[in-house]
Amino acid sequence: MATDFITKPGSPPVVRARVKNHIELKRYRDFLTEIAFVDGLTQIPNRRRYDEFLDTEWRRAIRQESSLSMILMDIDHFKQFNDTYGHLEGDRCLQEVAAALEKTLHRPADLAARYGGEEFACLLPETDMTGAMHLAEKLRTAIEQLKLPHKSSLTAEYVTISVGVSSVMATTEQTSEDLFKLADKALYTAKETGRNKVVSANDCGD
């Protein structure tokens, strides 16, 4: 759809000005699109971007008959952290955790996102359970090594995360929600059995 037009004969200064305006408009629209998918606090992809990415990669995995893995993470005893240190420090904690997660992911195809509150998610295209578990442990260790003090934690003296991992060969008989439910169940198990650990959906039973 045309948004502008230039009458003939065209004036070079007018043409240049209008071209510049359209370039700036395009940049602004791209900027708005970009920030719509970024979490304002942590500056990593947000839930909206996660949902879009999951939908895209799920359909791709079905077409390619490949595996897709998910890692769900929750900061242990985060309410107690906020109660002890205040919400400003809580925000800083979220920012440092998010940065460490994103730094630990090395493949451009992988996505780390803030799922909501103190929960984060990673999506790993063309990754099986073995690969996902290996990365999940690296993520858990990366947070532990930040050594962010958490004196009110019932798990450790520093901030830690609990992690649930799922991996499936995508088929039309399943949905991406199935992948999430498996990871969420594994995360629940990790929190119920001591926290600061990685649990595979394969180890959760029916």
DSSP state of 77: T
Q: Of residues 24, 118, 119, 177, which has the active-site annotation?
A: 118
Q: Would you call 118 a catalytic residue per the annotation?
A: yes
3-state DSSP of 82-108: HHHHCHHHHHHHHHHHHHHHHHHCCCC
Do residues 197 and 180 touch, judged by C-beta distance below 8 A? no
Using CA atoms, how far residue 114 sits from 41, 132, 158, in Å, is 10, 18, 21
**How is 105-135 classified by DSSP, letter by letter?**
---TT-EEEEEETTEEEEEEET--HHHHHHH
Active site residues: 118
